[in-house]
């Protein structure tokens, strides 16, 4: 019996889980440096972590995962409820009692001979009405060490929980790593998460997608707030005033990059500054003044490594200089540091690839997995905003949706109003990436970048967004759509992106403070800028035109795709049905 947890409700549940999984030993994670050091040393000893060059990268380690376990597995992720309509047509559904039975068979004695770690964690800042407690019981040291980076963990969380019965219950076991028997299960009604046979971030760092999006979205619906796949950033204007923006892009579509953006020099000279509050998840609530406030529930970054370099994302790279775990990147044998595609032009001479093999065939074999990641403490980030830890959050002026679209979507547009903005979010398309298993580069609808993360029926989710707009009224943030990923016929990106995206942000904040009142034109699909500042970048005239081109035929076929997607839903909320109809009318009259 475990006597370390004083909270009666948590204690009872944990004891049942101990009985089920039958570990040899139980360790409570207290959040101390000593304990973290001890577990790290054990993980190194067991070959689960490789110690990197501690002079160049203090506190940094490399992890090589099972090669069958490198990304989220949407087809093995389940929303478990009593009735299928609660999960809706876009989720894998399972009948909750049946899934419990199945999982309890899998978990039976699954920790035999191993140590169970009890991780009390908090999503959100301490002493904040936003924040929520979870427990993750796991037999993986790698998961413990990753959770210690990604969430606030340990004794202080238990103190904050006190005697309350409000916490998310989570169980995780490494199992046998059989990919066919991999399960990522959510029981929203019981606020319970079970993950089995995986160690990959989004599958098993339960504070992340499982809790902060799938479970939280379902809680948020009941409590009238939003749990979203969004970065949060601040833009300081030359006047000193700060504007806060939240943006939702699908997995591996640029949230970390935008959150840590460094503006082009001329804007820095003018007095603009961008600071970071979060790169993946936002919880948004209506504050006492009626505005929408956001916090980042996480405490670290689980960022995509490939493509990250000093030029594309200086702040992300700097964030990984210490106390970081790298997963599935290449090992540079010469100096015992890490490498991935896009870090430098020339790969290291002597290296070991992500699978642990001598990396010789550099032409045909990748050094790092395309979804290799770094797990880095948020406080490492040079552009971290001073209010990242604020219990009351920051007021959001603009919400940005964006996908990866080679064609169709313009560089930026503003919605006509909240409902039209919800329509833009709900109909968002994006090409798939390596962040989830399956084919890369296939365009799919990924509403609000939340397709794999909505913990309930998607129609109810859309309805909830419309409700939030009604509650916010005139204080609602403005809604925008961006697309950094348009390509030419050879497949090259036509927009420079990264730091240059600031030019688009500047128009967006100008729309919020009315300084761009004249610089806007109404089109059939939304409000577009008449011009954005291209000064200092090499964007030919025809490309400028292409970036804002609205083509009737292309948009009619986009309309048809959106309607096909909507037709698959259980119902379309009236507000969105109208928007779809309005779009059609505008396009037909074009």
Residues noted as catalytic: 253
Q: Which among ligand SPV, Mn ion, ligand GTP, none contacts residue 508 (Cβ within 5 to 8 A by kind)?
A: none
Q: Which among ligand SPV, ligand GTP, Mn ion, none contacts residue 254 (Cβ within 5 to 8 A by kind)?
A: ligand GTP
Task: Compute the least distance from the CB of residue 526 to Mn ion, in Å.
Answer: 25
Interface with Mn ion includes 228 (CB under 5 A)? no
Instruction: Report 267-296 residues binding ligand GTP (CB under 6 A).
Output: 279-280
Q: Which of 188, 201, 421, 425 binds ligand SPV (CB under 6 A)?
A: 201
- Which residue's Cβ has the minimum distance to ligand SPV? 202
3-state SS string for 38-87: HHHHHHHHCCCCEECCCCCCCCCEEECCCCCCCCECHHHEEEEECCHHHH
Q: Which helix (H) or strand (E) holds 300?
A: strand 300-304
Task: Compute the least distance from the CB of residue 436 to Mn ion, in Å.
Answer: 10
The DSSP letter of residue 499 is G
Q: Which of 152, 169, 209, 221 binds ligand SPV (CB under 6 A)?
A: 209
Q: Which two tokens stand for residue 469?
A: 């707009």
Q: In DSSP terms, which residues pair with 113 in a beta bridge?
A: none
Beta strands (DSSP E) in 371-501 are: 373-377, 394-402, 412-414, 429-431, 443-445, 478-482
Q: Which is nearer to Mn ion, 50 or 294 (CB)?
A: 294
Interface with ligand SPV includes 73 (CB under 6 A)? no
Interface with ligand GTP includes 219 (CB under 6 A)? no
**Cα–Cα distance between 376 and 310 in angstroms, integer?**
16
Task: Compute the least distance from the CB of residue 500 to ligand GTP, in Å.
Answer: 8
Q: Which among ligand GTP, ligand SPV, Mn ion, none contacts residue 497 (Cβ within 5 to 8 A by kind)?
A: ligand GTP
Interface with ligand GTP includes 304 (CB under 6 A)? yes
Upper half-sphere CA count for residue 425 (Cβ side, 13 Å): 30
Q: Which among ligand SPV, ligand GTP, Mn ion, none contacts residue 498 (Cβ within 5 to 8 A by kind)?
A: ligand GTP
Interface with ligand GTP includes 126 (CB under 6 A)? no
Q: Which among ligand SPV, ligand GTP, Mn ion, none contacts residue 206 (Cβ within 5 to 8 A by kind)?
A: none
Interface with ligand SPV includes 199 (CB under 6 A)? no
Task: Compute the least distance from the CB of residue 201 to ligand SPV, in Å.
Answer: 4
Interface with ligand SPV includes 172 (CB under 6 A)? no
> Cβ neighbours of residue 546 under 8 Å, at least 6 residues apart?
486, 494
574 sits in the region (left: phi over 0; alpha: psi -120 to 50; else beta) called alpha
Instruction: Report 77-116 residues binding Mn ion (CB under 5 A).
Output: none
Q: Which is nearer to ligand GTP, 291 or 373 (CB)?
A: 373
Q: Which is nearer to Mn ion, 251 or 397 (CB)?
A: 251
Q: Which among ligand GTP, Mn ion, ligand SPV, none contacts residue 307 (Cβ within 5 to 8 A by kind)?
A: ligand GTP
Q: Which is nearer to Mn ion, 5 or 71 (CB)?
A: 71
Please report the DSSP string for 115-155 in residue order.
EEEEEEEEES-TT-TT-EEEEEEES-HHHHHHHHHHSEESH
Q: Which two tokens stand for residue 119?
A: 């991780």
**Binding mask of the shown chain, residues 236 to 265, with x at each position contacting ligand GTP by CB under 6 A:** -------------x-xxxxxxx--------
Interface with Mn ion includes 280 (CB under 5 A)? yes
Task: Compute the least distance from the CB of residue 486 to ligand SPV, in Å.
Answer: 22
Interface with ligand GTP includes 435 (CB under 6 A)? yes
Task: Compute the least distance from the CB of residue 256 to ligand SPV, in Å.
Answer: 8
> Cβ neighbours of residue 407 under 8 Å, at least 6 residues apart?
486, 487, 554
**Cα–Cα distance between 184 and 158 in angstroms, integer?**
26
Task: Compute the least distance from the CB of residue 583 to ligand GTP, in Å.
Answer: 27
Interface with ligand GTP includes 501 (CB under 6 A)? yes
The DSSP letter of residue 477 is P
Longest dimension (CA), the chain: 72
3-state SS string for 152-167: EECHHHHHHHCCCCCC
**Cα–Cα distance between 48 and 186 in angstroms, integer?**
28
**Cα–Cα distance between 405 and 425 in angstroms, integer?**
14
Interface with ligand SPV includes 251 (CB under 6 A)? yes
Q: Which is nearer to ligand SPV, 203 or 463 (CB)?
A: 203
Q: Which helix (H) or strand (E) holds 294?
A: strand 292-295
Among 182-190, 248-256, 409-417, 546-554, the segment contacting Mn ion (CB under 5 A): 248-256
- Which residue's Cβ has the minimum distance to Mn ion? 280
Q: Which of 31, 425, 497, 529 binds ligand GTP (CB under 6 A)?
A: 497
Phi, psi of 397 (to 5 degrees): -95, -30
Q: Which among ligand SPV, Mn ion, ligand GTP, none contacts residue 523 (Cβ within 5 to 8 A by kind)?
A: none
354 burial (CB, 10 Å; 0-12 / 13-18 / 19+) is buried
Q: Which of 435, 450, 479, 562 binds ligand SPV (CB under 6 A)?
A: 435
508 sits in the region (left: phi over 0; alpha: psi -120 to 50; else beta) called alpha
Q: Which is nearer to ligand GTP, 180 or 538 (CB)?
A: 538
Among 3-11, 31-39, 243-251, 506-514, the segment contacting Mn ion (CB under 5 A): 243-251
Q: Which of 208, 405, 464, 511 binds ligand SPV (CB under 6 A)?
A: 208
Task: Compute the least distance from the CB of residue 325 to Mn ion, in Å.
Answer: 17
Q: Which two tokens stand for residue 401?
A: 């949706």
C-alpha closest to that of 353 among 369, 364, 375: 369
Phi, psi of 431 (to 5 degrees): -80, 135
End-to-end alpha carbon distance in the chain: 71
Q: Which of 35, 68, 312, 467 binds ligand GTP (CB under 6 A)?
A: 312
**Cα–Cα distance between 458 and 81 in angstroms, integer?**
15
User: Cα torsion for 238, 240, 246, 252, to the nearest 10°?
Assistant: 60
C-alpha closest to that of 220 among 450, 473, 444: 450
Interface with ligand SPV includes 280 (CB under 6 A)? yes
**Cα–Cα distance between 196 and 192 in angstroms, integer?**
13
Contact positions vs Mn ion (CB under 5 A): 251, 280
**Residues lying near ligand SPV in the complex (CB under 6 A):** 72, 201-202, 208-209, 251, 280, 302, 435
Residues engaged in binding ligand GTP (CB under 6 A): 249, 251-257, 279-280, 303-304, 306-307, 312, 435, 484-485, 493, 497-498, 501
């Amino acid at each position: 019996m475990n006597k370390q947890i004083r909270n009666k409700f948590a204690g009872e549940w944990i004891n049942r889980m101990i009985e089920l999984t039958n570990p040899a030993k139980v360790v409570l994670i207290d959040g101390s440096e000593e304990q973290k050091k001890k577990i790290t040393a054990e993980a190194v000893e067991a070959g689960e972590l490789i110690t990197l060059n501690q002079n160049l990268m203090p506190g940094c380690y490399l992890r090589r995962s099972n090669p069958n376990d490198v990304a989220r597995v949407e087809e093995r992720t389940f929303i478990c409820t009593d009735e299928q309509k609660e999960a809706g047509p876009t989720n894998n559904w399972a009948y909750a009692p049946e899934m419990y039975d199945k999982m309890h068979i899998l978990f039976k004695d699954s920790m035999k001979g191993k140590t169970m770690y009890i991780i009390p964690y908090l999503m959100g800042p301490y002493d904040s009405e936003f924040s929520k407690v979870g427990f993750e019981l796991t037999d993986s040291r790698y998961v413990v060490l990753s959770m210690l980076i990604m969430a606030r963990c340990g004794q202080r969380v238990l103190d904050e929980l006190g005697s309350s019965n409000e916490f998310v219950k989570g169980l995780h076991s490494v199992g046998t790593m059989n990919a066919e028997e991999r399960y990522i299960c959510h029981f929203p009604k019981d606020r319970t998460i079970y993950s089995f046979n995986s160690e990959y971030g989004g599958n098993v760092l339960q504070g992340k997608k499982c809790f902060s999006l799938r479970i939280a979205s379902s809680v948020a619906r009941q409590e009238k707030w939003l749990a979203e796949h969004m970065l949060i950033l601040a833009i300081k204007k030359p006047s000193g005033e700060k504007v806060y923006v939240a943006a939702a892009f699908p997995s591996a579509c640029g949230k970390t990059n935008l959150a840590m953006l460094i503006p082009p020099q001329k804007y820095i000279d003018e007095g603009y500054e961008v600071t970071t509050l979060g790169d993946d998840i936002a919880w948004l609530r209506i504050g006492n003044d009626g505005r929408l406030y956001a916090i980042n529930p996480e405490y670290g970054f689980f960022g995509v490594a490939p493509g990250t370099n000093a030029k594309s994302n200086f702040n992300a790279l700097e964030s990984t200089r210490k106390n970081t775990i790298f997963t599935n990147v290449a090992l540079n044998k010469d100096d015992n540091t890490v490498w991935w595609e896009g870090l430098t032009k020339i790969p290291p001479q002597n290296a070991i690839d992500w699978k642990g093999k001598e990396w010789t065939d550099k032409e045909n074999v990748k050094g790092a997995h395309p979804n290799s990641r770094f797990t880095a403490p948020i406080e490492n980030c040079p552009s971290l905003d001073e209010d990242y830890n604020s219990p009351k959050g920051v007021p959001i002026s603009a919400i940005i949706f964006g996908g990866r679209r080679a064609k169709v979507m313009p560089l930026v547009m503003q919605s006509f109003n909240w409902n039209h903005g919800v329509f833009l979010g709900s109909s968002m398309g994006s090409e798939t990436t390596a962040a989830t298993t399956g084919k890369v580069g296939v365009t799919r609808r990924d509403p609000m970048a939340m397709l794999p993360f909505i913990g309930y029926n998607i129609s109810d989710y859309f309805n909830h967004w419309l409700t939030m707009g009604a509650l916010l009224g005139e204080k609602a943030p403005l809604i925008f759509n961006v697309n950094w990923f348009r390509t030419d016929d050879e497949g090259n990106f036509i927009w420079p992106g990264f730091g240059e995206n600031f030019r688009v942000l500047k128009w967006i904040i100008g729309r919020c403070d009315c300084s761009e009142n004249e610089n806007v034109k109404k089109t059939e699909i939304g409000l577009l800028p008449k011009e954005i500042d291209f000064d200092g970048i090499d964007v030919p005239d025809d490309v400028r035109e292409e970036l804002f081109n609205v083509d009737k035929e292309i948009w009619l076929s986009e309309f048809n795709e959106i309607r096909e997607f909507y037709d698959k839903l259980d119902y379309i909320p009236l507000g969105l049905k109208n928007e779809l109809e309005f779009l059609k009318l505008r396009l037909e009259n074009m």
